[in-house]
Structure formats: structure tokens, C-alpha cells
Amino acid sequence: MLVLDTALLAAAAILVYKKGALDLKGVVAAFFVGVITLELGGWIPFLALFVFLLTGTLATKFKYHEKARRKIAEGKRGVRSWGNVLGNGLVAALLIVLEYVTKKDVVWAATFASIATANADTLASELGKVYGRNPRLITNLHRRVEPGTNGGVTLQGELFALIGAAIIALISIPLFENRAGAFLSVLIGGVLGCNADSVIGATLEERGWFNNDMTNFSATAVGALMGALAFGALTGSL
């Protein structure tokens, strides 16, 4: 099984590289996250991460030239690297290892909530830059800021965040007996984690204490925690 999974991941990695979604270092990082996910977690969490990569890539490249002209584009020509991969996927990979050991549904909820956070944040950021109107600083909603400002949020961006989290929540539900509780937990964790990303961006990142990858890692950790707490509260499993 490991040989087959490795071969499939290698083929997927080559495709991702050729399509310009990740640079070479990003592909290597994604490959190792993929191996951990497939071997210890199975196809459902792997699908969630793959969908995040796909939707995130499409959102990043959507109207990229317009975003580049306005100097609010992510990465070089929309290509992301290893820091972005680990910032968005390392928490999920670590939680998959923990779930493999503990076999606890609450850990699955945390895992998918971390992925939902990454997907929600990417869609909110990349599509919010295009469609968002009158962005305001999340730490002071009365203060208007320029599009692309760390911590800037819009109503349109929040809607994209909700959609991004819901996509991952839907993928997660086959793993749970309490599917409604799982869906809501992952959705809540994803949306709260996305907004935590904005708060961290407006404070720690804006002051130069964090870079974007550290912000993403921290936000996915917060989303995972919120998803686990929500799952415990909704299902009585804590």
C-alpha cells in the first residue's frame, strides 16, 4: 500500500508542479504531508487537503494579474512554497498522527477544522481581495483599510470563508457517527480559525513578529482547538 500511495503522490506532485501551484520545495513538503495523511489517515483527510490545494490554487490565480497590479497578490505569480504548505497543513498532519494513536473522533474534528481554517482563510483572502468592499480592520471594525491589509476583513470575505469551511466540513462527515455535530464543529472551527488569522495578522504579523506562514500555522492551530471544543460541546464527548 505504501508503494502504491507513494507512486500516486509522486504523480500528483509532478502534476502540481507543472501546473504552477507549488514550487519544488513546496512540492516536496506537500509530498511528505500527503504520505502521512494517506498512510495514517486514509483517503478522506487526503481528499480534504487535496481539495484545499485545488480551491486555494484556483482562488490564488483568479484575477492574479489584477491583484499583482494592485500589489496585493500572494506569492510569485501565484506559486506557493514549502512555508505555505507547512503553515497550512502541518497542524493537520500532526493531528492525523495523534488520531492514529488515540482513535478519538474529537481529534478528527480538530484535524478537519484545521483544514477548514486554511481553506476558509485562502478563499476569504484571495476572493475577498477581488470582490470585497470597504475592508475594515478586524481589531477595530470602525477603521477602514486598503484591500490586502493584514487583518482587513469584508462581509464578502466572511461569506467566502463560510463557503470554504463548509466544503471541508462536508468532506469530513463520512468519518463520524454524529454527522450533524461533526459538520457544525468543523464549520465553526474553520470560520473562527479564519478570523483568528485576521486578528494575528493585524497584531503579531503587522508588527513583524510573525510572517504569513507563522500566522497560518497559528490560525490552523486555533481552528483545530475551536473545532475540538465545539465537537465536545455538541456531542458531549469531552
Whether pLDDT at 17 is above 80: no
Q: How far is CA 226 from CA 44, 78, 117, 186, 220, in A?
A: 21, 30, 10, 9, 10
DSSP H helical ranges for the chain: 2-18, 24-36, 43-61, 64-69, 82-102, 105-131, 155-172, 179-200, 212-235
Answer whether residue 121 shows pLDDT above 90: yes
80: which strand partners?
22
pLDDT score at 94 = 98
Four-point Cα dihedral 107, 109, 110, 115, nearest 10: 130
Q: What are phi and psi of 141, to 5 degrees?
A: -65, -10
Give domain limits for the chain. Answer: 2-235
- pTM for this predicted structure: 0.92
Strands 140-144 and 152-153: unpaired
pLDDT at 71: 65
Distance CA(83)–CA(106), nearest Å, equals 27
How far is CA 120 from each of CA 6, 108, 162, 184, 188, rounded to the nearest angstrom?
A: 28, 18, 6, 14, 11
Task: Please give the Cα distance from 90 to 46 (Å, whole number).
Answer: 13
- pLDDT recorded at residue 62: 79
Query: pLDDT digit string (tens) for 52-72?
Result: 988 988 888 877 777 767 666
| pLDDT value, residue 22 | 81
Region 196-204: mean pLDDT is 95
Taking the CA atoms of 25, 30, 36 and 39 in sequence, report the sign of the dihedral they define.
Answer: negative
Per-residue pLDDT reduced to its tens digit, 31-42:
899 999 999 999
The conformation of residue 140, written as its DSSP 8-state character, comes to: E
Please check the confidence at residue 102 and state whether its pLDDT lies above 90: yes
Please give the pLDDT value at position 60.
83
d(Cα 210, Cα 203) in Å, to the nearest integer?
A: 9
What is residue 165's predicted lDDT score, i.e. its pLDDT?
98
> What 3-state class would DSSP assign to 171?
helix
* C-alpha cell, 49: 487537503
Spatial CA neighbour of 169 closest among 227, 221, 215: 227
